[in-house]
Amino acid sequence: MYQYNQARASFAHRANDVSHPLSNYLLRLMELKKSNLCLGADVASARELVHLADKIGPSIVVLKTHYDLVAGWDYNPQTGTGAKLGALARKHGFLIFEDRKFGDIGSTVQMQYTAGSARIIDWAHIVNVNMVPGKAAVDALAEAAAKWRSRVNYEVKTSVTVGTPLADNYEENAVDEEDDRLAPMEPSSSGNYAARQQESRKGSIVSITTVTQSFEPVDSPRFSNGNHDGHDVVYAGIEEPPWDRGLLILAQMSSKGNFMNKEYTQACVEAAREHKDFVMGFISQESLNSDPADTFLHMTPGCQLPPEGESEENGVVEGDGLGQQYNTPSKLVGLCGTDIIIVGRGILNAGDQQAEAERYRRRAWKAYMQRTGR
């Protein structure tokens, strides 16, 4: 399905053609950072995940998570792990992709997406779906995202005013009106009954607090109102991402012997075309944009580089012995036409993770530049 003439267009040019706001943002971010790298951050603890996101953030445009394998995930919506990742995403300029692979009936995937302890929709810009249950799963997620979008793009503005009635107004109105309700008072030890009564009346003056709220539209979201370790800043050169959420359809896999045949993949393409306002693209091994109107993005796992100094050997790298098959950035981006490579263990297991992330970023970007003739 790979159409080389479409793949020769630059990310900046394609940003003008996509219909999804988040795709537009991501393509512009890729050009700005000169990166088409996604880090598969499959680590065991929340502390390690946040540290890794901060360290590798400058090299990537997408951070891929599996929240359910992370020990110590803090679910607090304002100060928890999702909020901290959101602050780092703003600081370094990347999107968060929760690799949830939804694969159930419509009502279940809606709840998994929007409810429960994780509330994935609140902190993950992108999620993905396994199309085995059929198109209904895509329909349900699109509906849930639309409802969430309609609610969260407003922030509450609260105005509080506190004041005390003026003395003149109080004596003319409040005191006189209460005279008939005041119970008779015993004279004080000084015998000054009038002074005691006036003292009682003054003591009944209270402050008046007025609270008003209004809902104002917000075009650009904040994951929380807090500042996490000074990271509540926005990456220079681009605005914050839009409120919109995006879906990737799992159309092809890199594991050996998977059951995703051509018919399944074609059904994924058809579902994506029916939901261009929500579906950003695919998890795939090649570009699936076969129609001139297709503007989908493609993210590809199973990418690995040979050790520094070794040739790429036709773009294929030895697998992991557990079914995973590896291809190089040159093959995936340059020959197969994918847009973003997803790298996990190739970076995580490196002695110098930052240097290795930069090596992957440079190789993937070079393959993109060669593909587009730049």
pTM for the model stands at 0.79
Q: Which two tokens stand for residue 48?
A: 């390690």
Among candidate residues 54, 104, 139, 232, the one labeled active-site is: 104
Provide the pLDDT for residue 118. 94
Asked if residue 207 belongs to a known ligand binding site, the reply is no
pLDDT tens digits for range 74-132 = 999 999 999 999 999 999 999 999 999 999 999 999 999 999 999 999 999 999 999 99
Task: Please give the pLDDT value at position 259.
Answer: 85
What is the predicted pLDDT for the residue at 321? 52
**Matching residue, tokens 């995930």:** 73
The segment(s) of the chain belonging to CATH 3.20.20.70 are 9-152+220-371
Mean pLDDT lowest among 53-62, 214-223, 276-285, 340-349: 214-223
- Told to judge if 99 belongs to the known catalytic residues of this protein, a careful annotator would answer yes
Instruction: Evaluate if residue 37 carries a pLDDT over 90.
Output: yes
104 is catalytic: yes
Indicate the helix (H) or strand (E) that contains 156.
strand 154-163
Indicate if the pLDDT at residue 368 is higher than 60: yes
Active-site position among 34, 54, 55, 101? 101
Q: What CATH superfamily classification does 9-152+220-371 receive?
A: Aldolase class I (3.20.20.70)
Residue 215 above 50 pLDDT? no
The answer to whether the beta carbons of residues 284 and 252 sit under 8 Å apart is yes
Lowest mean pLDDT, pick from 58-62, 110-114, 136-140, 319-323: 319-323
What is residue 215's three-state secondary structure? strand
59-74 pLDDT, tens per residue?
999 999 999 999 999 9
Q: How far is Cα 296 from Cα 281, in angstroms, rounded to an integer?
A: 4
Share of the chain above pLDDT 70, in %: 73
Is 202 annotated as catalytic? no
Alpha-helical (H) ranges within the chain are: 4-7, 11-15, 21-33, 46-56, 81-92, 106-114, 120-123, 136-152, 167-169, 176-178, 193-203, 262-274, 329, 345-348, 353-371
